[in-house]
Chain A
Amino acid sequence: MLLKLNNASRVVKSGGKKITLLDDINLNVEEGEFISLMGPSGSGKSTLLNCIGMLDNFTEGSYTFLDDAVDRMKEKQRAKLYKEYIGFVFQAYHLIDELTVYENIETPLLYKNVKSSERKALVADALDRFNIVGKKDLFPTQLSGGQQQLVGVARALIGKPKLILADEPTGNLNSKQSEEIMELFSALNNEGVTIIQATHSETNASYGSRIINLLDGSIITD
């Protein structure tokens, strides 16, 4: 079992009113799954991803990640956990504009205190694998959207995470680029990486092994 949510909810206050963003979610994710979260805008897909990714917290219920109770952890332990096991891919890529392709991919390794020689080898491998060796010294603004997202995925994978969380990874891409990214996800999944993606697209969802439909913060079908 990779992670387990029990009656997990997220309720926030806004202007004195309570707003329920996630309502009583129960979810088990096994290692090696490829899950697609679907549902209309505002249904809670992104919130759920953020909470699983430990960028946000559930306000109620329990969250267990690799047998550890995340909801009882301190910020520091949580950071250590997601630094080790989770990689993010964003709709808007979120590459650091001031860094080159090479440096963007390298950054997570810096935060993990990986040695310089090892970093070089790992980044070189990643560049090779994603066929972007020729682009390594370019800055994000010099790349097309598809290429940027490729770098984004490479960056998410460099730390060898168990889980990849992708929030609308193809939302800003055309269909051909989308297909490439989804093929990539499939291949990764076959290598054993667990993937949870939020998506609007039926086509994208079909790459996954499991589809979860959300509406108003609740799971309606699994």
Chain B
Amino acid sequence: MIKTNLKIGFRNIIKNKGFFALNAGGLIIGLTAVLLISLWVHSELSFNRSLTNYDKIASVMQNVTHGEEIRSTTGQPMQLAPVLRDEYGSHFKYVVTSARSRNYNVRYNENNIMIRGRFAEPDLANLLDLNMITGSRSALKDVSSVLISKGTAKNIFGNADPMGKIIRISNKMDVEVAGIYEDLPKNSNFDELNFIAPWELLKKTDNYENRLAWGNYWFQVYVQLNGENRLNDVSSLIEDVTKNNYIEMTREHKLFLFPISKWHLYSKFENGISVGGKIEYVTIFSIIGIFILLLACINFMNLSTAHALNRGKEVGVRKTLGSSRKQLVLQFFIESFMIILFSFAIALLLAFLLLPQFNILTLKDISIPFETVSFWGISFVLVFTTAILSSLYPSIYLSAFRPVKVLKGLSSNNKTAVSLRKGLVVVQFAISSILIIGTLTVVSQINHAKDRPLGFNKDLIVSVRINNSKVRQSFETIKSELLASTYVDQVTASDVKVTSAYTTNGGDFEWKNKDPNIEAEFYTIRATEGFGEMIDWKILEGRDFSPNFPSDSLAFLVNETAVKYMNLENPVGEYVRWGDNGNYKIIGVVEDMVTRSPFDPITPSLFILHNGRFLNWVNVKIASNSANAVQGALDKMKTVFQKHNPENLFNYSFLDDEYKRKFNDEQRIAKLIAIFSIVAIFISCLGVLGLSTYMAIQRKKEIGIRKVLGASIHSIWQLLSKQFIMLVVVSLLIAIPIGYFFSSQWLMKYSYRINISFWIFALAGGIILGITLLTVSFQAIKAALTNPVESLKTE
């Protein structure tokens, strides 16, 4: 019986190629999208999971109370780990202090490269369960050794044996390669751990012991729990370690353990509580995935029940020949299952082919895990769910035909089936509309932030980071050598790039009429004279720093937000006492500038004049934007920096590129949502095309008669399109509130955001309506143009 069913299935596919193409086409596209989304979601959910001690690793974080607000940070003082080991050692297998992962200059002979790595205590190797290729994990106990990853070994030494070779980190620390480990999984927080160097070496070289106390949160502390210790228990146990040891503490500090399972997806904290993070996108895309699967299934159902008109006779005959209903259900189910299986195979192939592009778009390194049992298990569940969702109803519907009726040639299109089909189309349109509304919201939010007035000019400014304090000393020489080039307009130094201010100072600011209850905090930017002119800031009151006023070394320029924050009516001329640093005079007010994320509110900021010999960044304004000038200036910079700083690579970045990068995350999301919306719309269109085709067939006789009676093509088009327009309108009524809800939820996380305006809904409605009309008209006009003699003859 199954063999016969398969055979009939094949013949039906061949006979109804168009129907099959519509049905399978929608499914293939839908399943491809669902596969890609599932792979992405799986990759996000399995982040860090491949690390051996996944369920035991945590980082020690702290909640620090700043006035009303609690801030959470992974930063810890270097004094913490020893205390944890001494007093709570039995709860931990390992406690590891590590400097933050960052780019280091690594030199071997004449080769210089920039790679990310860490200085950490030796147990980091055990905590991460490094898979050593040669050497031993314990080698790190020797302060003159280093462990490097396999990739780094190849990068630096090519095919030569790295063991025992000496490399120099940051131009000051010589270490010997004492071990090589397999690269850590890409889908983890340690994917860029290219080397681990001894923590004690860094501590000694930078003289931390004498400089850093409990108040410096420069480092990270990772722990691995011992045996059966539960994270929450240990977490509350160590809560007050900082409080008990940090004598001069003014703010409240509470320690807690943050498990590795939450690092990636739940990294956002608000008032000391983890409130999500990337998990939001996992949710959004899971929902989109389910939506798309639903769309594809609905399509299948709709087309199959509509197509059932052609199968009515067959059902009737089979029933009179003695087929039971069960047998018919099985037959139709098998036919559908064949189409679904075929579509899944093609979708798998498509997903495989599209994966490289998808990886570029999502910045992932996903591959299809063909070799795992769970992949095939999940695929089976996907295929089976699709089959149940999409073909159970049509099978039952078809098998319920009454033979006497269908054999008489009566229309078997009962009213419930028709209204169900309409209901499903409404669901399809609604889902598509919601996705369009989402896309429009994300895109307009991005444009909104892009159009935000920056308050400064970011064009043609190149920044170079100087890590070496000796090189910083020669800033004035570097400056004059650079200015000798006609391509260079201005040269300044600053402690941060103006697009990414991150230094905050607080706690000890006092000024006239200050509310004694607030613990004032400001972002600070230190720069040399001429910095304001270079970035073209707008002075609203007072004046810029000037060499004519030697007293400017104790002066602030403040931004508008700071003026409001300080509640000063005439800020210029007021004095601000900054702890032991002195009494600073406010000499000017600058227009607000976006010095951090374009989505965040402007923060109160202070600008301080500083000597270039102590600042990290050298900024160069290029004279003109001609390719010649840009290249000339970069060449000049390369010569000058290599002369003064021969041991470091010449690395530079353009400020406007830097700024563009701030939109990367949002832009990626926008692209993904847009792509999936297009998929959703396309699937819905296939459905509408199919339905309108059947509608046209079904009403062929009616259309023929109407034409004989003198109906115009236009009136027939109207007749056939009208009901679809009604469906679109109903679906928009459903989609708008839902779309509004989701969009406003998403926008909540931005403080600088758009108000969702009417035009987003209008545009979404217009797009859906337009596309539907286009699709329906194709069939409607075809039907209207048919010669009535043809359509009436066949009856």
Contact = CB atoms under 8 A, between A and B. Distances in A.
Whether both chains belong to one complex is answered with: yes
B205 interface: no
Given A98-B12, A98-B15, A107 B318 contact: yes
B189 interface: no
A82 B402 CA distance: 15
Given A99-B8, A103-B4, A111-B327, A94 B322 contact: no
B313 A111 contact: no
B15 A55 contact: no
A108 B322 contact: yes
A55 B322 contact: no
Interface in B313-338: 313-314, 316-324, 327
B4 A50 contact: no
A171 B162 CA distance: 95
Interface string B743-761: 0000000000000000000
A96 interface: yes
Given A55-B404, A90-B407, A94-B313, A111 B320 contact: no
A36 to B, nearest CB: 21
Interface in A69-98: 76, 79, 82-83, 88, 90, 92, 94-98
**Chain A CB within 10 Å, residue with most, of B11, B15, B319, B322:** B322
A53 B314 contact: no
Contact of B1 (A95, A103, A110): A110
Given A88-B320, A96-B318, A108-B322, A55 B1 contact: no
Contact of A55 (B313, B323, B403): B403
A112 B1 CA distance: 11
Contact of A108 (B321, B403, B407): B321
A53 B320 contact: yes
A83 B402 CA distance: 16
Interface residues of A, number: 25
A31 B2 CA distance: 37
A2 B314 CA distance: 29
Interface in A93-119: 94-99, 103, 107-108, 110-112
Contacts of A55: 319-320, 402-404
Interface in B39-79: none
A183 interface: no
A105 to B, nearest CB: 10
Contacts of B314: 96-98
A56 interface: yes
A155 interface: yes
B1 to A, nearest CB: 6
Interface in B388-413: 402-404, 407
Contacts of B15: 98
A98 B11 contact: yes
Contacts of B327: 111
A208 interface: no
A159 interface: yes
Interface in A32-74: 50, 53, 55-56
Contacts of B318: 96, 107, 111
A108 B322 CA distance: 6
A58 to B, nearest CB: 13
Nearest to B327: A111
Contact of B322 (A82, A90, A92, A98): A82
Contacts of A94: 313, 316-317, 320, 407
A50 B403 CA distance: 10
Name, among B8, B321, B324, the residue most crowded by chain A CB atoms within 10 Å (CB to CB). Answer: B321
Contacts of A107: 318, 321
A83 B317 contact: no
Contacts of B402: 55
A98 B8 contact: yes
A196 to B, nearest CB: 15
Nearest to A167: B407
Nearest to A50: B404
Interface string B216-227: 000000000000
27 contacts: A50-B404, A55-B320, A55-B402, A55-B403, A79-B324, A82-B322, A88-B321, A92-B407, A94-B313, A94-B316, A94-B320, A94-B407, A95-B317, A96-B318, A98-B8, A98-B11, A98-B12, A98-B15, A107-B318, A107-B321, A108-B321, A108-B322, A111-B318, A111-B321, A111-B322, A111-B324, A112-B322
Given A76-B324, A94-B320, A110-B4, 17 more contacts: A50-B404, A55-B319, A55-B402, A83-B322, A90-B407, A94-B313, A94-B317, A94-B407, A96-B314, A98-B12, A98-B15, A98-B314, A99-B8, A103-B4, A108-B321, A110-B1, A155-B321
